[in-house]
Structure 1
Amino acid sequence: MEKVANLALEGKTALLEKDYVKLATLMNQNFDLRRRMFGDAALGGLNIEMVEVSRRVGAATKLTGSGGAVVAFCPEGPSQVKLLEESCKKSGFYIVPVEVVPSLLNEIDIRTLSSNK
């Protein structure tokens, strides 16, 4: 679990530094680590298939949480997104675009949350 937490911290840094190659690598590492930790039976075939469909077009992909959805990142841009949409449609999956936005927490909220560890 410490490795998963470290990947998240590295991911935050990659986002802040706009290092999208690193972010893609970390996303893939997150799923691969989770798969090794819990195994295919625990993750479920459908969740694994969503990741594999996305990765076949080169998108970085990981589970969003407990399953049922994945988040895919297309570092190559709109043409890769189009390939992902087509691949997902053929496999019976659909895409909901995600927009990354700044945190709505203020500095006091962040300090309070950080001190409750």
Structure 2
Amino acid sequence: DDLAQAEADLRDAGGAEIALVDVSGGQTVLVVQGDSAIQVLMKSTSYDVGLQNFPVGKVVTTTFAQAQVVMRRMNEVTFELILRRSFADYLWAWLRDAASEFGFASQDEA
């Protein structure tokens, strides 16, 4: 079990009492990618997602369409949005609407 091994490794390294809790079941990931990804994201957040301010590999917590998300830039045109599962339908609908002017197609529709 990866979680148990990570907990054991951290205890061995630091000697402190710790606990790791897997909360990933309450999260989901949406991926936004393509030539218009930055424009779509900028309609959704006040955080500057331009390459100079938000380089590949950077991760931030920000407000996105009035919901808290963790956003990670995977490459120049691909972003992951990690969010509470309870916001998934809302943000999916919001993203579809925001991307419609750019010829949006989901992976299922492409």
TM-score (norm. length: structure 2): 0.34
* Structure with the higher fraction of residues in strand conformation: 2
Larger radius of gyration: 2
More RCO (CA 8 Å, sep 6+): 2
TM-score normalised according to structure 1 size: 0.33
